[in-house]
């Protein structure tokens, strides 16, 4: 089992997959291996009935369609690229959820920022919302990525190994100047108290604390800051194609989800009650 995982890791890294994708694929395939062995089967056989049972088990335990598709993608990659199996895995992807993203209002964003007293934490939340950053992007942001004069952020090797430019809020310029003062261009903008980078989990805790202190009951996550960025730009009349570029979406259909969140026609309808 371990030799297969090692080969999988090597292949993914040779193809320049991101560290998070490598870890996710390895975890998915490892759990699949355990399931195969518990059922008395052989990994080498690639039994599709076993694979279907594995995915159904994940579904029955409450895994989301996105998670199930991640398992399926990882296992397909393993058999296609590592085992060189001539047999294709003829299993359809799980139907994706049509849930709308959780969006915070301007007032809610301001309340979260206001109740976050730690200046570094407050800047993390403010910049993530104001520039539409993913949690992985804010924690890996480097001094050289910031252009405080042109009010832009150059994100390098973002999701999909692509670069993109996004906006930098003018009201955060002074705070960012103070945050990066004395740092080298390759240093992280936000570091942990013990040195090194922050983790995804730490950023999420920072956000959750602000959400709780602000008394907001929505099921929001750190990623809701990015959803709110896109929705508020759309509400302000920004062309959706520009929003697509700022978010780094490859397909315009991904960005169009925000038109459903901010549909003015629905908001103008009055309830008959």
Q: Which residues are catalytic?
A: 134, 159, 223, 226, 249, 258
Alpha helix ranges (H) inside 15-77: 19-38, 48-60, 65-77
Nearest to 220 by CA among 101, 62, 63, 121: 101
Specify whether the backbone of 62 is left (phi greater than 0), alpha (psi in -120 to 50) or beta.
left
Within 10 A of 206 (CB to CB), how many other CB atoms are there? 20
Within 10 A of 153 (CB to CB), how many other CB atoms are there? 24
Helix, strand, coil share (%) of the chain residues, nearest 5:
60, 5, 35
* Crossing angle of the two packed helices 48-60 and 19-38, in degrees rounded to 10: 110
CA separation for the pair 55, 69 (Å, rounded): 9
């Amino acid at each position: 089992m371990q030799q297969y995982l090692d080969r999988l890791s090597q292949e993914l890294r040779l193809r320049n997959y991101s560290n998070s994708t490598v870890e996710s694929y390895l975890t998915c395939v490892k759990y699949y291996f355990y399931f195969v062995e518990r059922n008395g089967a052989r990994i080498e056989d690639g039994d599709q009935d076993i694979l279907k049972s594995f995915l159904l088990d994940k579904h029955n335990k409450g895994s989301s369609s996105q998670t199930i598709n991640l398992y399926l993608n990882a296992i397909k990659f393993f058999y296609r690229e590592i085992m060189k199996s001539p047999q294709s895995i003829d299993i359809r992807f799980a139907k994706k959820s049509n849930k709308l993203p959780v969006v915070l209002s301007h007032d809610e964003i301001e309340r979260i920022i206001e109740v976050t007293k730690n200046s570094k934490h407050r800047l993390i939340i403010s910049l993530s919302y104001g520039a539409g950053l993913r949690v992985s992007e804010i924690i890996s942001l480097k001094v050289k990525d910031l252009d405080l004069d042109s009010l832009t952020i150059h994100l390098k090797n973002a999701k999909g190994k692509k670069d993109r430019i996004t906006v930098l809020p003018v009201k955060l310029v002074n705070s960012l100047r103070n945050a990066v003062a004395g740092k080298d261009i390759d240093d992280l903008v936000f570091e942990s108290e013990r040195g090194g980078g922050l983790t995804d989990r730490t950023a999420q805790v920072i956000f959750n604390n602000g959400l709780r202190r602000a008394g907001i009951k929505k099921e929001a996550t750190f990623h809701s800051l990015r959803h709110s960025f896109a929705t508020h730009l759309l509400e302000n009349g920004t062309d959706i194609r520009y929003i697509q570029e700022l978010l780094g979406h490859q397909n315009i259909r991904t960005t169009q989800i925000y038109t459903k969140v901010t549909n003015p026609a629905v908001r103008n309808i009055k309830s008959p009650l």
